[in-house]
Amino acid sequence: MLWPTTLVHELGGWDETLTKNQDGDLAMRAFVAGARLRFSLARGPVLYRHHGAGSHSIASGTRVCDVDSCIRVIDKIAAALRAAGRFEPYRVWVARGYHELARLYYSSQPELARGAAAKGHELAGVRAIWGSLPHRMATLVLGLERKEWLAATLARCGIGDELRRLRR
């Protein structure tokens, strides 16, 4: 995404306290502020800059601070929507954001995942459960923790690739 410098400054700049999802944070703050996205019909190349052999993408981080950073982005979005008086139409989507984080990070950060799932459930109950039909059904029957444990166990047995495709 390309951002006009003036818009980035109007939004308060990049939140450098976040270790992950800074672009998502900026995009959501722009959305809440009323910015509109423009899509280009001319699809250009996507470039990714690597900073040497020891570099890594912060997008793949699963450390406590990285998962906490993702949760804080959703917390900030919810707070901004509330402050703008626009929370109710987005309540379920915010809850689904928490659920998706819980689902993504359950295996690496179960405590943070439980907290995110609880926030989603508090906001929207079972409507927070988001994903494919098999994922939603298994989560409703087993609960997210057991469902993720089962998915990880099946993946270790070599069954995960087909199931992972179904979950999207």
Q: Do both 112 and 139 map to the same domain?
A: no
The model's pLDDT over 35-85, given as tens digits with 9 standing for 90+, comes to 876 766 666 665 555 555 554 555 567 899 999 999 999 999 999 999 999
Range of the domain at 163: 131-168
Q: Do both 140 and 164 map to the same domain?
A: yes
Distance CA 7, CA 158 (A): 47
- 101 falls within a domain: yes
Using CA atoms in the order 88, 128, 18, 23, what is the torsion angle rounded to 10 degrees? -80
- 135 falls within a domain: yes
- 41 falls within a domain: no
Q: Do both 102 and 125 map to the same domain?
A: yes
- 143 falls within a domain: yes
pTM confidence score: 0.79
User: For the chain, what is the mean pLDDT?
Assistant: 85
Identify whether the C-beta of residue 123 lies closer than 8 Å to the C-beta of residue 95: yes
Q: What is the structure's pLDDT at 115?
A: 97
Q: Do both 18 and 81 map to the same domain?
A: yes
Distance CA 90, CA 81 (A): 8
